[in-house]
């Protein structure tokens, strides 16, 4: 699966993950490496440069590893999080940046400025209210 992806410079921010082939709607794009789970105290002690790669999903703090840690947010994301994977919401074309909705994987008290640039950009990313 990693052979089907490339990490390179993103127009959204820093590095991004790009499709090296076409993906169909419903296809698993990335299986997360969940071996780096952190207790809440450990997560709080992370340097700011590492906190950006921390997701909160299914009541677990996971320090994302490459390539998943380079998936940028978009308010018009082309994937969704399920079973510790990024799944294609729609068909994704070769060369397209893989994006996620960070609201699905944020702690309830987190928020951040959005830089996605999509037409329906919310400007602020915060956790979904359940």
pLDDT in tens, 2-37: 689 999 999 999 999 999 999 999 999 999 999 999
CATH number of the domain within which 18 lies? 2.170.270.10
Residue stretches of the chain with pLDDT short of 50:
1
Which residue in this structure is represented by tokens 């018009």?
Answer: 76
The pLDDT score that the predictor gives to residue 112 is: 86
Report the distance separating Cα 24 and Cα 126, nearest Å.
28
Spell out where 10-113 has E strands: 15-19, 28-31, 37-38, 54-57, 60-63, 72-73, 79-82, 85-88, 97-100, 111-113
The pLDDT score that the predictor gives to residue 45 is: 93
The answer to whether 36 and 62 have CB atoms below 8 angstroms apart is yes
Rg of the chain over CA atoms, in angstroms?
14
Q: How many domains does the chain have?
A: 1
- 11 exposed, middle or buried (CB, 10 Å; 0-12, 13-18, 19+)? exposed
Where in the sequence is the domain holding 115, given as residue range(s)? Answer: 2-126
């Amino acid at each position: 699966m990693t052979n089907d992806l490339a990490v390179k410079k993103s127009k959204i921010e820093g590095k991004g993950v790009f499709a090296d082939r076409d993906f169909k709607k419903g296809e698993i794009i990335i299986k997360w490496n969940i071996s780096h789970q952190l207790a809440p105290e450990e997560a709080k002690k992370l340097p700011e440069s590492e906190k950006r790669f921390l997701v909160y999903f299914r009541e677990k703090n996971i320090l994302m590893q490459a390539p998943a840690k380079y998936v940028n947010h978009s308010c018009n994301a082309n994937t969704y999080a399920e079973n510790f994977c990024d799944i294609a919401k729609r068909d994704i074309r070769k060369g397209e940046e893989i994006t996620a909705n960070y609201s699905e994987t944020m702690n309830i008290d987190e928020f951040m400025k959005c830089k996605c640039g999509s037409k329906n950009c919310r400007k602020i990313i915060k956790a979904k209210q359940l």
